[in-house]
Copies of this chain bind each other. A is one copy, B any other.
Amino acid sequence: MGTTARTADRLLDAVQAGVTIYDLGRRLTVGMPQSPNHPAFGLTLPRRHGDMVRADGGSAANDLLVMGTHVGTHVDALAHVSQDGRLHGGADAAAAQVGGRFDELGVHTVAPMVRRGVLLDVPATLGLDSCEAGYEITPADLDATVSRQGTPVGAGDVVLIRSGWGRLFDHEDRNHYIGKDSGVPGVGADGATWLAQRGVHAAGADTIAFECLPPGKGHSTLPAHRILLVEHGIYLIETMALEELARDEVHEFTFVMAPLPLYGATGSPVRPLAVVSRG
């Protein structure tokens, strides 16, 4: 007797009928590409097996993790960015951070997400493997992708914009993915407005900064951060792994993400999933 037959939960029935899980999180390794604006990812073993052995022969190893919260695949909380001294909703940024944490708008306020997700595979629309360095993805590109895929974007959805730049994540020279000199493709102000107009819940990309970085400019202006985080309260997810979804042409899925409830933080590392029913 299987357990499947017993359940009366529609969701669990669907899970037990078989699902495929796509892992959208990058592996966190010492030395991986990350923004130089954030503390580097570090992981060490303070205790190794054999350091302290119990009378019964058992031993445990453990870790020390030191990292920024905007490294690896991560989500930006609304507390992350301010404009003219104001956070999303108008709160004074200086006052909100007194005490060294954000009681409001910190990443602990980001509810776990189990929602419709849509991948917008822009380079596939453009007939490319990857958008070029510094290319700004336009509203026309987004519309064309929606149309080609047959996946309209609705209110509350999580929209993941593939630029193809993620293929450089594992390049032996980490500077390629960071793209300081070359620039990095992504949406600009117009693409961000397109997302905001559709009322998406969160938006993600396969690059470190989500948005288009012109060559040599670095993070000097980030209009999409302003429009999405500050003006519309839309979360951003960065450094995502989107190649497998694109390869399998999975454009619509159940998106699952549970940020660590780091009290008062401006972001969290995450391991988002795209889940689909099998055949």
Contact = CB atoms under 8 A, between A and B. Distances in A.
B45 A94 contact: no
Copies in the complex: 4
A122 to B, nearest CB: 20
A247 interface: no
Interface string A247-269: 00000111011111111111101
Given A9-B277, A14-B13, A15-B116, A43 B258 contact: no
Nearest to A154: B3
A100 B10 contact: no
Contacts of A3: 116, 152, 154, 157
Contacts of A61: 79-80, 82, 93, 97, 102, 266
A16 B154 CA distance: 12
A114 interface: yes
Interface in A21-64: 21, 23, 25-30, 37-40, 42-52, 54-64
A128 interface: no
A65 B265 contact: yes
A25 to B, nearest CB: 6
A99 interface: yes
B263 A28 contact: yes
Nearest to A150: B6
Contact of A65 (B45, B56, B65): B65
Given A116-B15, A269-B260, A62 B69 contact: yes
A221 interface: yes
B27 A261 contact: yes
Contacts of A98: 50-51
B56 A221 contact: yes
B254 A55 contact: no
Contact of A69 (B25, B56, B63, B273): B63
Contact of A273 (B67, B114, B260): B114
A114 B15 contact: yes
A49 B252 contact: no
A25 B58 contact: no
A276 interface: yes
Interface in A192-247: 220-223, 225-226
Contact of A267 (B63, B70, B97): B63
Given A43-B262, A44-B44, A62-B68, 4 more contacts: A56-B223, A65-B68, A258-B270, A261-B271
17 contacts: A11-B14, A12-B277, A13-B14, A27-B263, A28-B263, A43-B265, A45-B97, A48-B48, A55-B220, A59-B82, A60-B82, A60-B225, A61-B80, A62-B70, A62-B266, A63-B267, A65-B66
